[in-house]
Amino acid sequence: MESPGHTGGQSKLQPGSPADPTAFGKYLLLGMIARGGMAEVYRAKTRSASGILAADRLLAIKCMRPQLAKEARFVEMFIREGKLAVLLDNDSIVRTYEIGRIEGRYFIAMEYIGGKDLTQILRRCQESNQRIPVPHACYIAAKMSEGLHYAHTRADAEGRPLNIVNRDVSPSNVRISYEGDVKLLDFGIAQAMLKFTSEIGVLKGKFSYMSPEQIRGMPVDARTDVFSTGIILHEMLTTEKLFRGDTEFALMEKVRKADVPPPSKFNRRVPDALDKIVAKALARDLPDRYQSAKELSDDLHAFVTQYRYKPEEMTEFMRNLFRVDYQKEADEIASCQAATLDNEPEMSIESSLVVAEPTPPVGTMNPPPRDADKRTTGPREAIGRMPADDTSPTSVPPGDTGPASTPGPGSGDGFFSRLRKKFTK
Ligand SMILES: Nc1ncnc2c1ncn2[C@@H]1O[C@H](COP(=O)(O)OP(=O)(O)O)[C@@H](O)[C@H]1O
Ligand SMILES: [Mg+2]
């Protein structure tokens, strides 16, 4: 992801700003957070209170590049995975409100998480010669694992496991808010994104956080996310990248071998017991690894008790690490909340709601309604209609379950196999 100032790549959307918001269907865009090869992320809010969304609630809208909408397979996967993402209701996972299409752009509307992602946090630590304190690092990894375990074990209304696997647990997908919340991003869309990310440059960043079996293109399960969490924990403890390579091939080889030095080698504050936890999360062979994310979070929580750690300390840590940005963000959020369109016209909403959040109010653990999968418009918000000439997202078979039943990157279309062949030629 590049910084918002970057102007390469064509996008027809005006990013907007709090002083000059851009209307996007029923939303207002209030500025770009980041732009990458596949998507752009904007700050946003709804134009008026709708459903569970209060009018001043800040959202993040991730808009897929328009060319992706032309890929029927992408659209199908995006919707299938998005349907799963809206089912996830856990403290450690960003809340997804809806998946839809506006002006031909597929988008995901989520809660906005202030603060920074772990890439930014690690970079700041490196630049300022600081470390994330050991208990903070363990707490972050424990919270991530809790969120992952929740998703891994999420079942449908009939109690059938949905077999959700994140597959893209990487530092840019973990945000820590200035309130100390730890939130996993991009749940559900990883598979579609990975599969359709043809630019090696974009994928390269992802190899460093994949498990050996994922790099090999083998089927993956919850334990792949455990491995990726182990990499992130290692990096938080050492402030160094764990897997690096001059070429993609060299990098992939390193991940395949999973030769992992103990973090204590780089950070003398890491005790032996923690080295052992990290080693078990990063075991190359599946039987040696933690078998569930819960096992990992249990061990981390137990380990951390000796520090008498209080989660509130994370708030202080974040605000100290990003003193200036914290203040700036507080001001920006206030102006975003106050933003309105001049001459708000009679709302003409041209969006197709594909999936809406099934469980109001936010924070409840009600199971989704039985027919949640079949719904193509939200419970309270039948907004707009599908243009007749459109590839209707509603044509996705409702019973088509999701990531578990779809081949992982490399296993189905041979993408990773092709990639490996390319490098081994
Ligand atoms: N819900 C959100 N709230 C706040 N920031 C977000 C949200 N979702 C994504 N971002 C931020 O937008 C940036 C780009 O995210 P993304 O498109 O997922 O790219 P990447 O491939 O780097 O993960 C990241 O810095 C991420 O932290
Ligand atoms: Mg991301």
Nearest CA to ligand 1 atom 13: 34
Nearest CA to ligand 1 atom 5: 113
Identify the pLDDT of residue 392: 30
Q: Are 167 and 225 in contact (CB under 8 A)?
A: yes
Q: How far is the CA of 105 from the centre of ligand 2 (A)?
A: 18
Q: Please report, for residues 13, 26, 97, 348, the alpha-carbon distance to residue 345 in angstroms, rounded to integers and kept in the order given.
A: 19, 12, 25, 8
Question: pTM for the whole thing?
Answer: 0.81
The predicted-structure confidence for 67-119, as pLDDT tens digits, reads as follows: 888 888 888 878 877 888 898 999 999 999 999 999 888 999 999 999 999 99
Q: How far is the CA of 172 from the centre of ligand 2 (A)?
A: 6
Question: Of 89, 117, 168, 275, which residue is the catalytic one?
Answer: 168
Query: Which ligand has an atom closest to residue 177 CA?
Result: 1
Output the average pLDDT for the chain. Answer: 79
**361 prior amide bond cis, ω within 30:** yes
Instruction: Please state the φ and ψ torsions of residue 109, each to the nearest 5 degrees.
Output: -100, 125
Query: Which ligand has an atom closest to residue 41 CA?
Result: 1
**Confidence grade of residue 65 (pLDDT, cut at 50, 70, 90):** confident
- Sign of torsion over alpha carbons 68, 73, 79, 83: negative
For ligand 2, a single-atom ion, which residues have Cβ within 5 Å? Answer: 173, 186
168: annotated active-site residue: yes
The predicted-structure confidence for 404-417, as pLDDT tens digits, reads as follows: 333 333 333 344 44
User: Which tokens hold the place of 254?
Assistant: 């390193």
Q: Which of 3-7, 64-68, 140-144, 283-287 has the lowest mean pLDDT?
A: 3-7
Q: How far is the CA of 99 from the centre of ligand 1 (A)?
A: 16
CA distance 43 to 64: 15
Q: Which of 62-66, 138-142, 151-155, 368-372 has the lowest mean pLDDT?
A: 368-372
Q: Which of 55-69, 117-131, 323-337 has the lowest mean pLDDT?
A: 55-69
Nearest CA to ligand 1 atom 19: 1
For residue 122, the 8-state DSSP code is: H
Is 354 strand, coil or helix? strand
The predicted-structure confidence for 345-360, as pLDDT tens digits, reads as follows: 555 555 566 667 654 4
Q: Which of 41-45, 138-142, 328-332, 404-408 has the lowest mean pLDDT?
A: 404-408
Q: How far is the CA of 151 from the centre of ligand 2 (A)?
A: 17
Residue 399's nearest CA partner among 158, 188, 86 is 158
Q: Which of 39-43, 224-228, 379-383 has the lowest mean pLDDT?
A: 379-383
pLDDT at 419 over 70: no
pLDDT at 135 over 60: yes
Instruction: Please state the φ and ψ torsions of residue 229, each to the nearest 5 degrees.
Output: -65, -40
Indicate which atom in ligand 1 lies nearest the CA of residue 170: 23
DSSP 52-83: TB-TT--EEEEEE-GGGGG-HHHHHHHHHHHH
Domains of the chain: 22-112+332-405 (3.30.200.20), 115-321 (1.10.510.10)
Query: Which residues have CB under 6 Å of ligand 1?
Result: 1, 33-34, 36, 39, 41, 60, 62, 94, 110, 112-113, 117, 172-173, 175, 185-186
* Choice from 172, 189, 203, 325 to test ligand 1 binding pocket (greatest atom count within 8 A of CB): 172
pLDDT at 325 over 70: yes
Indicate which atom in ligand 1 lies nearest the CA of residue 193: 21
